Amino acid sequence: MLFDSHAHLDDKRFDDDREQVIQRAAAAGLVGILNAGACMESSARSVALAGKHELVYAAVGIHPHDAKEAKAGDYEQLADWCLAPKVVAIGEIGLDYYYDLSPREVQQQVFRRQIDVARQLKKPIIIHDRDAHGDVLAMIKKEAKGMSGVLHCFSGSLEMATEVIKLGFYVSFAGPVTYAKDGKLKEVAARIPLERLLVETDCPYLTPQPYRGRRNEPAHVRFTAAEVAQVRGMEPAALAAAATANTKRLFGIDA
């Protein structure tokens, strides 16, 4: 039993074999895939995928890369999408100071507005954080106080993970935890509380070993889960069961 807590199946790289990819995920034992929106167009595709496939759930949101394109009416549309039964979160949202494809002030404003939408709807948030750890943590403390969510594809320190968990958030691990050079990330995966841990692919990106360099897909989440189980000294099945239960609890999924 595994749940890919963050995927982008609407990406054009799946246009030729999306149905087969979802079938492979089911055959690999996945019980769910959460498809995260990255802009208004991909959020619409995410909602459509969730409506079509039993295995797929949706999140809707505007990625910091696309923050500069956000319009006033987009926040109302995000809220409307959240009325659908399989739209379970606002995301992915956050800050990206590595690429800086949108001005930082704009990223912060759009992040803040989407947190407010999630608060009003009582939805969890899925946070993208790249080279913006301090500002993301400050935003969670100030704007998302009392809320829940996940730092997806976590790349911060053990201290940051501990801090966000104290604030009621979860931490999710993707393919990089399987890379030999990411010793600090392995340490975070080994030491955080099991009940606050998720696994994901972030496909088509960040393919885990042994498929690194190829397109990622939800079935590959098992390699990330196996690595996290190993660094924690757990059986893979036990880790998978715990991470799946955590994902369902966070996103209010009963299936």
pLDDT confidence of 30, banded at 50, 70, 90?
A: very high
Q: What is the pLDDT of residue 215?
A: 98
Q: What is the pLDDT of residue 106?
A: 98
Where along the chain do its domains lie? 2-251
Q: How far, in Å, CA of 197 to CA of 171, rounded?
A: 5
Q: How far, in Å, CA of 228 to CA of 235, rounded?
A: 10
Residue 255 clears pLDDT 90, i.e. is over it: no
Cβ–Cβ < 8 Å for 57, 88: yes
Q: What is the pLDDT of residue 80?
A: 98
Q: What is the pLDDT of residue 122?
A: 98
* CATH H superfamily, domain 2-251: Metal-dependent hydrolases (3.20.20.140)
Question: pLDDT tens digits, residue range 34-93?
Answer: 999 999 999 999 999 999 999 999 999 999 999 999 999 999 999 999 999 999 999 999
Question: pLDDT tens digits, residue range 202-235?
Answer: 999 999 999 999 999 999 999 999 999 999 999 9
Pairing of strands 56-60, 197-199: unpaired
Cβ–Cβ < 8 Å for 122, 129: no
Q: What is the pLDDT of residue 51?
A: 98
3-state secondary structure the chain: CEEEEEECCCCHHHCCCHHHHHHHHHHCCEEEEEEECCCHHHHHHHHHHHHHCCCEEEEECCCHHHHHHCCCCHHHHHHHHCCCCCEEEEEEEEEECCCCCCCHHHHHHHHHHHHHHHHHHCCCEEEEEECCHHHHHHHHHHHCCCCCEEECCCCCCHHHHHHHHHCCEEEEECHHHHCCCCHHHHHHHHHCCHHHEEECCCECCCCCCCCCCCCCCHHHHHHHHHHHHHHHCCCHHHHHHHHHHHHHHHHCCCC
pLDDT confidence of 244, banded at 50, 70, 90?
A: very high
Query: How much is the mean pLDDT over the chain?
Result: 97
Higher pLDDT, 13 or 1: 13
Cβ–Cβ < 8 Å for 115, 85: no
Residue 251 clears pLDDT 80, i.e. is over it: yes
Q: What is the pLDDT of residue 182?
A: 84
Q: What is the pTM of this model?
A: 0.98
Question: pLDDT tens digits, residue range 132-172?
Answer: 999 999 999 999 999 999 999 999 999 999 999 999 999 99
The region that residue 94 occupies, defined by phi over 0 for left and psi between -120 and 50 for alpha, beta otherwise, is: left
Residue 130 clears pLDDT 80, i.e. is over it: yes
Edge-first strand listing for the sheet containing 149-151:
2-7, 30-36, 56-60, 87-96, 125-130, 149-151, 169-173, 197-199
Cβ–Cβ < 8 Å for 218, 25: yes
